[in-house]
A = this chain, B = another copy of it.
């Protein structure tokens, strides 16, 4: 802990615990114990458990809704864009494996969070959706893509990609695989998902 990095330490510890156990099951006492500080200090810096949580939640919500790291290049065929999108989304999740569970959990657990998420989601998605929607219409019209909706495509993509990060703890256990085994099995799933998606879009 550097020159009074307490505030930072608290945030980091809180993030770890919140993401691991969720809001309800993480007490400020837990955080303080782990940080090694007085419990009041948490309130001193963040005023309330909820305020501390909210900052962390929103930071992770942004990750949750990140589809790409850099904007998609324009002059790329539609299906190629979908493939890039899927892989990129997968890579982002790979770096934040626990985030999907955390966000899903908190949203399901506290409906109030839906509100907090709305603008984050829109901001993330509206950069990408209108363009794709238009391109998809063209592709369908010209017979290069089977008749479907962008909503369906994105839902499939999200499902495939997120599934990999939601179910593994279960899979590890029921398949008696080690953490490492599962991880390596999953590494290749990113490309596989992209392939599944693109294949499913061919007429």
Closest 6 CB pairs of A and B: A159-B163, A121-B174, A196-B200, A24-B24, A159-B159, A159-B160
A1 at the B interface (CB under 8 A): no
**A31 surroundings in chain B (CB, below 8 A):** none
How far does the Cβ of A27 sit from chain B's closest Cβ, in whole Å? 11
What is the CA–CA distance of A199 and B156 in the complex, to the nearest angstrom? Answer: 14
How far does the Cβ of A178 sit from chain B's closest Cβ, in whole Å? 14
Contact with B along A138-171 (1 / 0, CB 8 A): 0000000000000110011011111110110111
Which B residue's beta carbon lies closest to that of A126?
Answer: B174
A108 at the B interface (CB under 8 A): yes
| B117 and A173 contacting across the interface, CB-CB below 8 Å | yes
Interface residue from B25, B122, B160 paired with A24 (Cβ < 8 Å): B25
Interface residue from B108, B118, B125 paired with A101 (Cβ < 8 Å): B108
| B171 and A167 contacting across the interface, CB-CB below 8 Å | no
30 contacts between A and B (CB under 8 A): A22-B108, A22-B109, A24-B25, A104-B104, A104-B166, A105-B105, A105-B108, A107-B170, A114-B170, A117-B170, A117-B173, A118-B174, A121-B173, A121-B174, A122-B174, A125-B174, A151-B171, A151-B185, A155-B163, A155-B167, A156-B160, A156-B196, A159-B161, A159-B167, A160-B160, A162-B163, A162-B166, A162-B167, A163-B163, A196-B196
**A167 surroundings in chain B (CB, below 8 A):** 104, 155, 158-159, 162
Main secondary structure of the interface of A (DSSP, over half): helix
**A117 surroundings in chain B (CB, below 8 A):** 170, 173-174
What is the CA–CA distance of A165 and B149 in the complex, to the nearest angstrom? Answer: 19
Q: A163-B162, A196-B200 are in contact. Are A173 and B105 (CB under 8 A)?
A: no
Which B residue's beta carbon lies closest to that of A177?
Answer: B151
How far does the Cβ of A31 sit from chain B's closest Cβ, in whole Å? 16
Q: A24-B22, A105-B105, A166-B166 are in contact. Are A189 and B155 (CB under 8 A)?
A: yes
| A114 and B169 contacting across the interface, CB-CB below 8 Å | yes
